[in-house]
Chain A
Amino acid sequence: MADYREIISAYKEVPGGIIEAYHAVQKEYSYIPEDAVVYAAQVFDIPEAKAYGVATFYSYLKVGPRGKNVIRICESAPCHIAGADKVVAALEKELGIKMGETTPDGKFTLEFAECVGQCQATPVITINSQPYGDVTADKIAAILTEYK
């Protein structure tokens, strides 16, 4: 795994590049380590509080550990009426964790999301940003085998 210091430093000269740097770190780690936020503050020459404020403002970014595969379930109105709650229940059952939690082996994290822009096929989940549409409870197991 590339060191977050290297990843962040590569954006040093990009005006306003801290968010791009966070994206790049998260792509590698699946989250932003706390130390990376502190480091970003140094690289971009801003107070730590501000670097932290930026990182936590955006829901797509996550400071602190999460699983290798991040599963997000859209709960916006179109997915909601299409049965997002049933998908949530199926995922929780299959993985043995609740929303917001990570499996003990560190492989999966379950999170809520607002609309991910795939509303032609509600309800929708994404796994590491890869969308899956028209998801039903009985499709879950098959989808997850790809990541196990």
Chain B
Amino acid sequence: MAEEMRIVLRNYGKVDPLNIDSYTQVGGYQALAKAKSMSQTDLIEEVKKSGLRGRGGAGFNTGMKWSFSYGVKADQKYVICNADEGEPGTYKDRIIMENDPQSVLEGMAICGYAIGANKGYIYCRGEYPYVVEILNKAIAQASEKGLLGDFNIEVRMGAGAYVCGEESALIESIEGHRGEPRFKPPFPPVIGLWGKPTIVNNVETFANIPAIVDKGADWYKGIGAAGYPGTKVMTLTGDIVNRTVIEVPTNTTIRQVLDDFGGGITGGKKFKAVQIGGTSGGFIPESLLDTPIDFDSMSAIGATLGSGAFFVMDETRDIVDVIDRISKFFAHESCGKCTPCREGTQRMHEMLHRVKNGGAVAGDLDYMERLGSVMSKACLCGLGQAAPAPVLTTLKHFRNDYTAKFN
């Protein structure tokens, strides 16, 4: 039986999110003090050595990212916490911020010290106005006590555009523009917000930082899968008995998550598929459930860990109907900046709609595969690149569900 391990959620239910004293009483802000007693390069090296990779989806080594910004000379640098969380099925960052906002602020301040930034932004999704209030109170308390030093944090609200979770689109949005991704390179750690070096990290990534600084890189590295150490916060939705949030070491398997924590499928029905990583993730059939959830193991089966959302479907679910709905999401959320995505998401949605309504023929599935593979390579940002993943993985593992729709 697999067990939970709480690092990110270490204070869940133990601290009062609106009372900073309860955070300092459990050792909060000691990590920031320890970090400041180290040199910037030693600190960055420690984070790098821990093996922590970003929890926002791309899985880039966090310490390595910080070293890029540290290495650039600039009069101003920024730290941004990505709390946009627009991936359907995902609400882990909300849980972290609602329950333990100070751990996120502390992680950001440590990053600020490491790279030499005195200004931070939290870009919180517009649908979470109550979280914005919690964050603002937490920031006020931390500054009043002088715990953040000269590091300032401001909360900005997103406004309902999934693409703004993409880091360069997020930066555009903070600058007051439409949230359209930038061409890369240059990458934000070198040229980011208002042209200055900017670290964008996920909420869960920042919440890991104080624990790593406290307990050291070796401790962290020893947890979970070697290539993607630590834990991952997962949210379980769909046809699963326990719709809940859990935190497990990254060598836990998909099956363990479903059975040991999810409690199996609702109504005693059989499992059909699980989509991991949110709406842009791949669909996984029964035969692959013994795969560990870590980033590389998931990539190896053509799936993604992404945000860590588990969306479970039982045997009665119509895969094509679900994919049709998902393709509508992407057609709606495409920002329109590049053609393969702007046009591709629309055409993909049209074709799926046709399949769903019984108006498609066998050749259409090949067209969909062709379009999907072009999009995954030619789109400017991760939105368009990942949009075909649910289609492509279901065409691979659940093709019969499509052909059953043909007249």
Contacts and interface: CB of A to CB of B under 8 A. Distances in A.
| A: contact size bracket | 35 or more
Nearest to A57: B178
Contact of B333 (A60, A78, A114, A116): A114
A114 B278 CA distance: 12
Interface string A32-62: 0000000000001000000001100111110
A23 interface: yes
B12 to A, nearest CB: 14
Contacts of A103: none
Contacts of A117: 85, 90-91, 94, 125, 127-128
Interface string A5-45: 00000000001111110110000000000000000000010
Contacts of A18: 176
B172 to A, nearest CB: 9
Interface stretch (B141-149, B152-160, B211-219, B369-377): B152-160
B176 A58 contact: no
B303 interface: no
Contacts of B162: 114
Contacts of B325: 75-77, 80
A80 B178 contact: no
Given A15-B194, A118-B91, A78 B238 contact: yes
Nearest to A46: B176
A109 interface: no
Given A81-B239, A117-B94, A23 B89 contact: no
Interface in B124-181: 125-130, 156-162, 173-179
Interface of B: 85-91, 94, 125-130, 156-162, 173-179, 194, 235, 237-239, 243-245, 275, 279, 309, 311, 313, 317, 322, 325-326, 329, 332-333, 335
Interface of A: 15-20, 22-23, 44, 53-54, 57-61, 75-78, 80-82, 113-122, 126, 129
